[in-house]
Structure 1
Amino acid sequence: MRGVSKTVWAAVVIVVVIVLAAAALLMQKPTPPPAPTPKYADTITIGTTDKISDLDPAMAYDFFTWEVFNNVMEGPFKYKPGTTDLEKGIITDYQVQEGGKVYILKLRTDLKFADGSPCNANTLKWSIERVARINGDPAWFVTDLVDKVDVIDDYTLKITLKSPLSFFPAILAVPTYFPIPPDKYPADKVSSDNTAGGVGPYRIVKFVRDQQLVLEANPYYYGTPPKTKTVVIKFYKDATTLRLALESGEIDIAWKTLNPTDINSLKTKPGIKVWEGPGSFIRYIVFNTKIPPFDNKLVRQALAAALDRNSIAQKVFLGTVDPLYSLIPNGMWGHIDAFKDKYGEANLDLAKQLLRQAGYSESNKLKVELWYTPSHYGDTEADVAALIKEAWEKTGMVEVTVKSAEWSTYLDLTRKGQLAVTLYGWYPDYMDPDDYTFPFLHTGSNRWLGNPYSDPEMDKMLEQAEVEPDQSKRVDLYKNIQIKLADDAPIVPIFQGKLYVASKDTVGGIVLDPLMLLRYYLIYKQVGS
């Protein structure tokens, strides 16, 4: 091979030197500074028109109080935020034995209450059995389902059911199975203003009924600490005051319940964000079939036929809710439009026919006393009651008197069976058709509504649907349950809603899902960087 000239070699060396020098300069180029770390507020303030009923899982059976429980307590299972999937809570493992009749729960060994005292299997057993002893509104989750509870060792609990239950892990996610400290709660009576809490991410540091609830991060919580150290919940008398509190900066989040007009208005306000999520809450009318004349099925059927759901959905809620024709919500497996199939919509001719069969006429009108509560379900409730009255009175054979009572009084009168016709709503305890039927229609399980209905045939179908492992067979059972519900008409569905939350646009971490519980521990507010 012929040799390379010295000139060429020199050129190559020069090029290499230049390349190396350029690379060195690039390597010396300063690294861009890291992005600033967001700063979050220590406190977030949430406003609501809702109210706390009883700070005691043995008695409370309402959406908002359960929401508080899910932030200051925890049970064997919980729902993964943003989904309907269950995940382990205070347990590390579990076993299902004897074909679904026995559940063995292995508890975490690092569980502590808000005061630092330990929580173990004995504590959980005591808490569950206390629910049964007190026999309050949600007691059926225990009394109807559980045969006995045994402690195997300090951190192992055995729950034996009366019969196999395919969805029992979902039941173990409701507050009746949340452990509470035995030295803070009385063993055999309700403690409505108790602030001891449980083993959840927050603890209660202040509670002034119907005014304010203050939570702070529980230093003994086993899991990830809350995003925000302190959560202040303020209670407002109506939706207008709630909206103004958000606009003025008094609160960071307006949650349950804003008026439809407020929701639309806030969507256009700078600095405010409106969050929308799927809704599985339902609204309905309850007839106490023990109180005449509502012990007459013809009367209940007539009022069911005359109801104008579309008018309520459009005039009161501006289309933010959907008419509902079953207690099982639209979109859930097993749902059928049972009431629409039987009665149609605003069917005045059928209503008149049924009223005449029941002995009423234009000169002998059916007298109805319709009760509602003015703030628990939002300011729209009076308008809902007014449109129901209007629909029924269009028959010319019904005279309606509308009355109202504040939530605590309303609950008390209902529980005592003193109100014949009431308006109520339901937020899911667990995601299964059973949750929308059994607590309403099964004898004794509807004690929270004053035991308004009892039927052996219905009881039998509900019990069969609970234990049947084949979902296709459960679908058939729930179809028959809904058909019988529409025929008996002790409870008449009105509409199904959506979830709306309004907040400052600096707020994040709000998760809305079908369970419809606001998880305070995920929420944060950015204040700078």
Structure 2
Amino acid sequence: MTSVQFVRRLSAAVAAVLAGTLVLTACSGGAAPDAESGGEPVSGGELTVAVRSEPPQLNPLVDQTGGAHVLSPVVDSLVWDNGDGTYAPWLATEWEVSDDATEYTFTLREDVTFHDGTPFDAEAVKTNIDYVADPANKSTGSVAKLGPSAEVVDDYTVTITLDSPESTFLTLIAAPYFGIVSPVQLTEDPDSLASSVIGTGPFVFDSWVKGQSLTYTRNDDYNWGPEGTHAGAAYLDSMKYLFLPEDQTRYNALVTGEADVVDYIAPEYAEQVAADQDHDSEEFLLPGVGYTLYLNTRQAPFDDVTVRQALLHGLDREGIVEAATFGAYPVQEYLATTTPDYKEDLENTITFDVDEAGRLLDEAGWTETDAEGFRVKDGERLATTIPYADDDQLAQRTLEQVQIDAKALGFDVELQPVPASDFSQRLYNGDYGIMASFQSEATGMQLWRLYGGDNVSDGSSIGSNASFLADPELDGILAKARSSADPTQRAEYYGQAQELLPELAPSVPLFSRARLVSWQSNVNGLSWDNAWPQPYLFDVWKS
């Protein structure tokens, strides 16, 4: 038995004692939110939600990381994503899409007001689109990369035109990171979005205690929830998000009753939660692209596709995931199995073959080794760096296992824990050899977001292509997929992209992530937001 195998098996044995095995299931939101509960809803009370990460700021049009998980109570979207390829009305009552998927015309509700009293209308939507499209605002959402422009047709009709076709645009704008913000705040006091946000949602911003909590109070005038939810204002008086990045502390908040709802129960506590009769829980195997190692193709050694292929095949992905997630999460290919457009009959899957990895590194010229056993070429060690957020325990466990496997290949991988705010900056300026992250969105368009040559940060807009890959063949396939209005044809093109990606090896996919949420037995009406899969809390009430 090698030292790598011993470490891996020891870790797996510890995992079995701690957590056992979690069977993953995906839940579907159906045509509208499912707010089933026991008894008649009652009003009142505060809901305390423990979450893993605190947003760097509160502007949903800029930040699509932690902010998307805590801003949904205060902002509404134009449409609701049913999670099955269909959409329901929300701030928009109906819409038309051009045949080439570049023009979207929305008819808007006429009874909506922002929390500052400003009427919601077509001009408000245009102001939001203009803000996202302005390079100075550095919007990280994919909408900015589509080059959107908005035209006011009349007071309650607006047309959004895209520079390039996007057949899944409705999914993008259904997500909370495109929640509509007050045009007065955007134009007159945009700096205030760093610490507060004015939307149209069922709750109003109250206070943010940095490092501790974010509190909202009920919007008593609210009466425009998405189709399928209850009429009128929220049942709860207020809602508080507690920022608890430490996994055990977050789990303890559930056990002690400090939190009514705990989001992202860590995998090591999955078995306890499943067996717990005192709390309810539900999990969602997140669609999109799971936890992945993005290889910076702009820098050596990953500018050499042979080196990228060596790492892709030389890492024991199953062993890494088993050890890091306690067997709770499944290994994935380039898309999670719950993603629309995932190719069920994928032929070009990623294989684990250490001998092949060694042959590829020899072929790339890394034939010598130094005194510490790392490969060397022209006097330079085969080495790279991986920054990660210093409060992300799962990332640390995963990357430590990656480091072990890489060393066995003769690859020196340095782990660099950094503050979460710095991690986000690294992601968008390319200051890394490998960037590890995950992106959850219910569309195969994720492949364009993460591997499209025209979705690279270029100074004029922020891109999500963390590997900086630019491959003409792949770009051509993705362009056809994004312009196709036929779901079957679109899935075929995204399937071709999934078959091609292992050859290009811009990244090493590791695992799909299960979002396990648990709540106290007196919490009713919790459902899921499918556009950016997360708990949806508007219908929640406490008995």
User: With structure 1 as the length reference, what TM-score do the two structures score?
Assistant: 0.83
Give identity over the alignment, percent: 22
Q: How far 1:514 sits from its partner (Å)?
A: 5.0
Taking the aligned partners of 1:137 and 1:204, their CA distance within structure 2 comes to 22
The answer to whether the aligner puts 1:520 opposite 2:542 as a matched pair is no
Taking the aligned partners of 1:181 and 1:307, their CA distance within structure 2 comes to 48
1:294 to 293, 297, 302: 302
The answer to whether the aligner puts 1:356 opposite 2:362 as a matched pair is yes
User: In 2, are the aligned partners of 1:122 and 1:154 still within 8 Å (CA)?
Assistant: yes
- Structure 1 120/262 Cα, relative in aligned 2: closer, same or farther at 3 Å? same
Q: Could you list the runs of 5+ residues in structure 2 that have no partner in the other structure? A: 1-37, 225-230, 371-375, 457-462
Equivalence for 2:7: none
2:76 to 74, 77, 99: 74
User: In 2, are the aligned partners of 1:507 and 1:524 still within 8 Å (CA)?
Assistant: yes
User: In 2, are the aligned partners of 1:280 and 1:514 still within 8 Å (CA)?
Assistant: no
Taking the aligned partners of 2:41 and 2:177, their CA distance within structure 1 comes to 39
Give the secondary-structure state (helix, strand or coil) at the position aligned to 1:356: helix
User: In 1, are the aligned partners of 2:181 and 2:199 still within 8 Å (CA)?
Assistant: yes
Q: How far 1:188 sits from its partner (Å)?
A: 10
Taking the aligned partners of 1:476 and 1:51, their CA distance within structure 2 comes to 38
> Which amino acid letter does the alignment assign opposite residue 272 of structure 1?
H
Equivalenced residue count is 480
Task: Show CA shifts across 1:325-348 (max 9, x none).
Answer: 11354563342686x835412x11
- Structure 1 121/250 Cα, relative in aligned 2: closer, same or farther at 3 Å? same
1:401 to 406, 414, 420: 414
Give the secondary-structure state (helix, strand or coil) at the position aligned to 1:215: strand
- Structure 1 465/188 Cα, relative in aligned 2: closer, same or farther at 3 Å? farther
1:412 to 402, 425, 440: 425
User: In 2, are the aligned partners of 1:328 and 1:433 still within 8 Å (CA)?
Assistant: no
User: In 1, are the aligned partners of 2:336 and 2:512 still within 8 Å (CA)?
Assistant: no
User: In 2, are the aligned partners of 1:313 and 1:319 still within 8 Å (CA)?
Assistant: yes
1:486 to 502, 506, 513: 502
Report 1:366-515 matches (<5 A).
Answer: 366-375=382-391, 378-395=392-409, 397-428=410-441, 431-434=442-445, 436-446=446-456, 447-448=463-464, 452-512=468-528, 515=531
- Structure 1 265/471 Cα, relative in aligned 2: closer, same or farther at 3 Å? closer
- Structure 1 518/299 Cα, relative in aligned 2: closer, same or farther at 3 Å? same
Equivalence for 1:311: 319
Q: How far 1:496 sits from its partner (Å)?
A: 0.9
Task: Show CA shifts across 1:246-294 (max 9, x none).
Answer: 22221111112x3222222234445233323343251101111112212
- Structure 1 331/171 Cα, relative in aligned 2: closer, same or farther at 3 Å? closer
User: With structure 2 as the length reference, what TM-score do the two structures score?
Assistant: 0.81
Taking the aligned partners of 1:369 and 1:172, their CA distance within structure 2 comes to 35
Taking the aligned partners of 2:466 and 2:283, their CA distance within structure 1 comes to 34
Equivalence for 2:270: 263
Greater displacement, 291-300 / 357-366: 357-366
Give the secondary-structure state (helix, strand or coil) at the position aligned to 1:131: helix
User: In 1, are the aligned partners of 2:331 and 2:511 still within 8 Å (CA)?
Assistant: yes
Q: How far 1:44 sits from its partner (Å)?
A: 1.0
Report 1:140-219 matches (<5 A).
Answer: 140-146=142-148, 148-175=149-176, 177-186=178-187, 193-219=194-220
User: In 2, are the aligned partners of 1:114 and 1:196 still within 8 Å (CA)?
Assistant: no
Give the secondary-structure state (helix, strand or coil) at the position aligned to 2:115: coil
Q: Could you list the runs of 5+ residues in structure 1 that have no partner in the other structure? A: 1-34
Taking the aligned partners of 1:99 and 1:505, their CA distance within structure 2 comes to 48
Taking the aligned partners of 2:423 and 2:164, their CA distance within structure 1 comes to 35
- Structure 1 246/215 Cα, relative in aligned 2: closer, same or farther at 3 Å? same
Taking the aligned partners of 2:216 and 2:333, their CA distance within structure 1 comes to 39
Taking the aligned partners of 1:95 and 1:327, their CA distance within structure 2 comes to 29
> Which amino acid letter does the alignment assign opposite residue 434 of structure 2?
V
Task: Show CA shifts across 1:341-394 (max 9, x none).
Answer: 35412x11111111111221333252122222233xx52221101111112222
Taking the aligned partners of 2:183 and 2:529, their CA distance within structure 1 comes to 33
1:275 to 260, 270, 282: 282
> Which amino acid letter does the alignment assign opposite residue 420 of structure 1?
G
Taking the aligned partners of 1:42 and 1:154, their CA distance within structure 2 comes to 38
Equivalence for 2:26: none
Taking the aligned partners of 2:428 and 2:78, their CA distance within structure 1 comes to 29
Equivalence for 2:35: none
Give the secondary-structure state (helix, strand or coil) at the position aligned to 1:172: helix
What's the Cα RMSD here?
2.7
Q: How far 1:176 sits from its partner (Å)?
A: 5.9
Taking the aligned partners of 1:38 and 1:511, their CA distance within structure 2 comes to 15
Equivalence for 1:20: none
